[in-house]
Amino acid sequence: MRPFLLVLSAPSGCGKTTIARRLLAERPGLAYSVSATTRPPRPAERDGTSYHFLTPVEFARRIAAGDFLEWAEYAGHRYGTLRSEVDGILASGRAAVLDIEVQGARQVRKHFSDAVHVFVLPPSGAALAERLRGRLTEGRQDYVARLKRAGQEMLAVSEYDFVIVNDRLDDAVAQVSAILDGEGHRVTRQVGLDQQVETLRREVAREADAADTQ
C-alpha cells in the first residue's frame, strides 16, 4: 500500500492526541509526525517525542529556511509540521499521523491531495470544558481562550472527509481504525495492482482452458 497522511483535527481538549497515541500503540503501520512548537513543554512532555520545542527565533529561522510543510499560530504560540518528519515516515512505508489544527490541515490538503482528514468532536460542551479543565496546563486564561476558539474551529468540520465523536475513547479509537482500514483498501493506494490482476487473469485463463479440455 502507498503510505498516506492521516490528519486528525479537533478543538483543543477533545482528545485527538489521546486517540492518536492509542492508534499508534495498536497499529504498527503508523508513525506520529512530531510537530515543532514555540509553546513551553507540559510536565509530561518530552522534547522530540511530544513536540520539537523551539525558541521563537529558531522557529522563524526554520520558516525562512522552508522547513515547514505547514505552520499556524494557536493560542499565542506557533506550531508547524516539519517536511523532514513527514518525508521520513512516508519513506519508511508507514502512514503519518498529523495532530494539527484546522489552518494547518488546509495547507496540508494543498500539498497532499490524497491525505485522509478526520475531525473529532466532543460529546458535549460540558465534556470538552471538563477535559480542558482537567488538563489546565497553560492556566485559566488559556483555558478560556481555547474554549472560545473551540466553537469557531467546529465550523470547519465540513472541510473534513470523516467526523467522529470522542465520547467513549475505545469507540473513538475503533472508529478511526476502521477509517484507516477502509482507506488502506482504496484502489489508488495499491502498489502493483495491475500486475496482481494480470497474474490472476493468466491463472483464471489457465483454469478455463483446463476445464474446457476435460
Give bridge partners of residue 68 from the DSSP assignment.
Answer: 82
Q: How far apart are CA 138 and CA 39, in angstroms?
A: 9
Name the residue whose CB lies closest to ligand ADP.
15
Q: Is 86 in the site for ligand ADP (CB under 6 A)?
A: no
Q: What residues have CB less than 8 Å from 175, skipping those under 6 apart?
A: 164
List binders of ligand 5GP among 195-214 (CB under 6 A).
none
Half-sphere exposure of 193 (CA within 13 A, CB side): 9
Which three three-digit cell numbers place residue 62? 526554520
Among 6, 7, 12, 119, the residue binding ligand 5GP under the rule CB under 6 A is: 12
- Closest contact distance (angstroms) between CB of 79 and ligand 5GP is 4
Number of residues that make up the chain: 214
Specify the residue, 81 or 175, whose C-beta has the smaller distance to ligand 5GP. Answer: 81
Give yes or no for a contact between 77 and 87, defined as CB atoms under 8 angstroms apart.
no
Among 4, 32, 59, 74, the residue binding ligand 5GP under the rule CB under 6 A is: 74
Specify the residue, 58 or 130, whose C-beta has the smaller distance to ligand ADP. Answer: 130
Q: How far apart are CA 48 and CA 82, in angstroms?
A: 12
- Closest contact distance (angstroms) between CB of 80 and ligand 5GP is 5
Q: Is 15 in the site for ligand ADP (CB under 6 A)?
A: yes
List binders of ligand 5GP among 21-50 (CB under 6 A).
35, 39
Binding partner of 149, given ligand 5GP, ligand ADP, none, CB within 5-8 angstroms per partner class:
none
Q: Is 164 in the site for ligand ADP (CB under 6 A)?
A: no
Q: Is 104 in the site for ligand ADP (CB under 6 A)?
A: no
Distances (CA, A) of 89 to 75, 106, 168: 28, 20, 29
Cα four-point dihedral sign 7, 132, 82, 26: negative
